Structures are given as C-alpha cells and as structure tokens.
Structure 1
Amino acid sequence: MSVSRRALMMGGLSALCLSLTGCYTVGLPDQPPLPDETFDYELAYAARKDGDFELPAINYKSFDRRFWRQVVDYKSGERPGTVVVDPYNAFLYWILTPSKALRYGVGVGKAGFAWSGDAQIRVKREWPIWRPPLEMIERKPALMKYWENGFEPGLKNPLGARAMDLWQGSRDTLYRIHGTNDPASIGKNVSSGCIRMWHQDVIDLFSRVPLRTKVVVLGKQEEAS
C-alpha cells in the first residue's frame, strides 16, 4: 500500500512503513500526505490564497533540490514526531522513524546560531504580529516603532505566514520557526532572524506538528552529516 493512500486511510496522519523498522504514525490528524516519488512540486509551491493573503509562487527550481521539501534517510536518536534543526547545513528535519525524516530547507540568521539544545513548541500562530527583539532595536533604532503595536500581519511581515514559538520550561526563548518575506534567504545565513522557511513549507510543517512538540537545535559539533 502506498504511503499517501495509507495516510488517507488513517485519517491523514503521516504513516511510513519500512520492512525493518515497522510502521510509525506521527503528527496531527488531517495533515497532507508525505512527499513521495509522485509528489507535485509545482502544486506544492504554487501561488495560493491563505486566509486574507495571496501567497506568491516559490521559484523552487532556482534552488538546489536538496532544499525542496522531501522525505530523506536520516538516522536520529530522537523519537518520531521530534523536530531537529541543523542550522549549519540549513535543514529542518521532522522525524518520522529512526531512519527517515521529512526535510525542509531553511534560512538561518545570526540568532539561529546563538543557542543550541532542546525546546518545545508552546505557541503556534497563523499570520502573526511581529515585535522586534530589544537587541535588534539596539542595532536598528528605527524598529522601535514596531515595539508597542507590532508589525501587522501580511506578506511583508518578517515572520510571514506562520510562527512556532520555542520555549524551554516556562521561559520563552524568543526563538521562532517561522515564514519569511525573503524567499531567496532559504539555504543561506542571513543577517538576522531565527529559523525561517518558505511560506508554503512553514504552513506544511505547521499542519503536522502539535503543541509541545520537542525541538532539538543542533550545535556545531552535532551538525548532521
């Protein structure tokens, strides 16, 4: 039975069956099927309406294929359902089994290298308001105007279409997995920001991961091979 058909039969949960490792089902119900050999990238990265906003198409063919959304071989000691961020190779992995993961390309700012370790997704926001961190305001005082009321949701908002806020215990780390108003930044180290994804990809991830999902941000010595 194909992965996509089985996913539909199991209520949309992502299911991946491997002969040696068995079947694993992870994530939220009614999520989209996993990408497979018949996956339609033109449709996945096409222009689309999301809420009140019109998302532009992603010119994905201008990027290295490794940054396209795809299921890959990936050995991890983390449990299925965990998100692993490798900022040094510009990848985000959503663990499916001990040997498979759904991988997305990401862009990483200086803030994305500022810490490593474990966190949880404690807040998920659609078309979020953005308030610049105080450290960013110190570097760019003109951003102070967004501190009180925030930058309104929309395509120009630095957080883009979705944001997933990372917490450690009761503390908001102020680091986010979020969309981007600069699609060309995927696969690159950019001047500011945390972990950024194409709108279509962050919406896809958002539809899969529940609150309290564990997120592991790798340090330099741990970067994936």
Structure 2
Amino acid sequence: MKTRILIAAAFCLGALTAVSAANDRYGQRPPVVLSPDLNAPWLNQLRQPGSPHGAGAVVSKRNRAHVQSNYSRHRGNARTATRNSSQRAKAPAMNPIYLPTVVAYETSQKPGTIIIDTPNRFLYLVMADGKARRYGVGVGKPGFEWAGTHRVTRKAEWPDWRPPAQMIAREKKKGRILPSFVAGGPANPLGARALYLGSTLYRIHGTNQPWTIGGAVSSGCIRMRNEDVVDLYERVGNGSKVIVI
C-alpha cells in the first residue's frame, strides 16, 4: 500500500510540474530521463512544451536499470519516471542529420581540435586520417552569433548555472525573472556537461531541450544533446583548441 501511494504521488507531482512549465528555456522544467543510447534521440524524453502529451515520461524496467546505474548518483534523475504505460511519450522529433557520426573532413588542424560550423549547425572533433566526429548543435540566435578561436579552460559535470547580469536584465525586460543560481541537474539549462571557452561567458554544454538542436536558439553558447556532450567531454581535455566559424 505504501509503495502504491508513493507511485501515485510521484505521478501527480510529474503531471503538476508539466502543467506549470513555461514555454521558454528558462521556465521550470519537468523532470527528464536520460537515454543511454548515443545514436538515438532521448528515449522516453518528455515532449516539447505545448505538446498534447507533454507529461509523465515513462522508462522501461530495462532502461530504468541502465539509467540508474549510470546516473543514480545525481539526485532526482531516474526516480522521476513512472511505470504508467498510458503516459508513455515518444521522443521529440529531431532531424536525424544532427545525430553523431564519423565523416570525411579535410583540415590542417590537429586531431583533438573542435571546429564549430555555425551556419550549418555542426560541431566537428578532428580525428586522424582526414576524418572527424560530427555532432549536431544549437547555436546563437540572431544577434548573438560570434566567431573566434579559444581553448577549453575548464570542464564540469552537471554544472551549476549562474546567469550573467546582462542576461538577467535582458530577460527581465521581457517579463521573465531568472534565478541568480540553478544547481546542476536534469532541469538545468546547461545539461549534463559543460566545456568552458577561455575567459568568455560562452560554453559548449548540454541542454534540457534536445529538440532545439539544429536551431539558432541560444545566447551564444553552443548546445548539444546530453548524450553527445557527454561523449565529447570524454574525448577532449583542458587546453583543447576550439574554433568557431
């Protein structure tokens, strides 16, 4: 009986959270379940806000075990899913061209260099023998585009988010009040990993809005699916060269 009560409470909490979620990236987000599959959009990911089936993502018993084994150390992750099959939601649509793949890529840059092709929304991690690992990314929205060369100066897992003062002021004018601090976690706009670029305010980071990959959507940061930024994070180190074009 106690177990049934807890499951019912979790279901109700998930539904209420989804109803209150705002339609912008800074609103309170419903909980998410991370997919362990790097080659597919998030499994059992909540739909985009505004979808008729927006709440109550469900993870299967097999995937639940996989997710928990990899992410159980982080609070509030897989526990937020329920087993109610009537609430199962499909992953949001994303153009498959933005899924990670290995491509031919001729460049004079050394292996390990990150090259971000802003117009085409791709990030390339240069490999040997004229190849690169390519990922889809989201880039700066109009007015927030930039280009330059920097180095990765810091790496963080489940980074905290402290919105810059300029962003807080800008969003306040739009009627959105941003928090001064958001702890790292699935509801954090920076996602699962972050690579900090030089002394800038820009980062390559994950996102809790994977359906935005391929768009011009950020305030200048380069965003990736959580699966992809975790993969990239493991392949590059501090000091890695990053070229944004």
What TM-score, normalized by structure 1, do the two folds share? 0.68
In the other structure, the counterpart of 1:28 is none
**2: distance between equivalents of 1:130 and 1:40?**
25
Partner of 2:203 in structure 1? 176
Largest Rg, 1 or 2: 2
Write 1 or 2 for the structure with the bigger share of helix.
2
Deviations 1:106-144 (A, max 9, x none): 111238953211100010000011011222112113545
Which amino acid in the other structure matches residue 63 of structure 1?
A: M
Instruction: Please give the residue correspondences for 1:67-146 in structure 2 after superposition, counting only pairs within 5 Å.
Output: 67-97=98-128, 99-110=130-141, 113-141=144-172, 142-143=176-177, 145-146=179-180
Whether the aligned pair in 2 keeps the contact of 1:162 and 1:203 (CA below 8 Å) is: yes
Q: Which runs of 5+ in 2 are unaligned?
A: 1-36, 44-62, 82-88
Which residue number in structure 1 is paired with residue 30 of structure 2? none
Q: Is the 8 A contact 1:70 1:103 kept in 2?
A: yes
Moved over 6 A (4+): 55-58
Correspondence for 1:208: 235
* Secondary structure of 1:63 counterpart: coil
Task: Note closer, same or farther for the CA distance 1:112–1:66 as it changes in structure 2 (3 Å cut).
Answer: farther
The structure where strand makes up a greater share of residues is 1
Shift of 1:75: 1.2
1:59 equivalent to 2:87? Answer no
- Aligned partner of 1:157: which letter? N
Q: Which runs of 5+ in 1 are unaligned?
A: 1-38, 219-225
Distance of 1:112 and 1:104 partners within structure 2? 23
Deviation readout 1:53-97 (Å, 9 max, x if unpaired) = 33999938x322221111011111211110001111110000002
Residue number among 31, 39, 47 corresponding to 1:41 in the alignment: 39
Q: Which has the higher contact order (CA 8 A, sep 6+)?
A: 1
Q: Deviations over 1:160-199 (max 9, x none)?
A: 11110000xxxx1110000001111001111535100001
Q: What RMSD in Å do the two structures reach over aligned CA positions?
A: 2.7
Separation in structure 2 between the aligned mates of residue 112 and residue 212 of structure 1, nearest angstrom: 28
Q: TM-score, normalised by structure 2?
A: 0.62
Percent of counterpart pairs with the same letter? Answer: 44
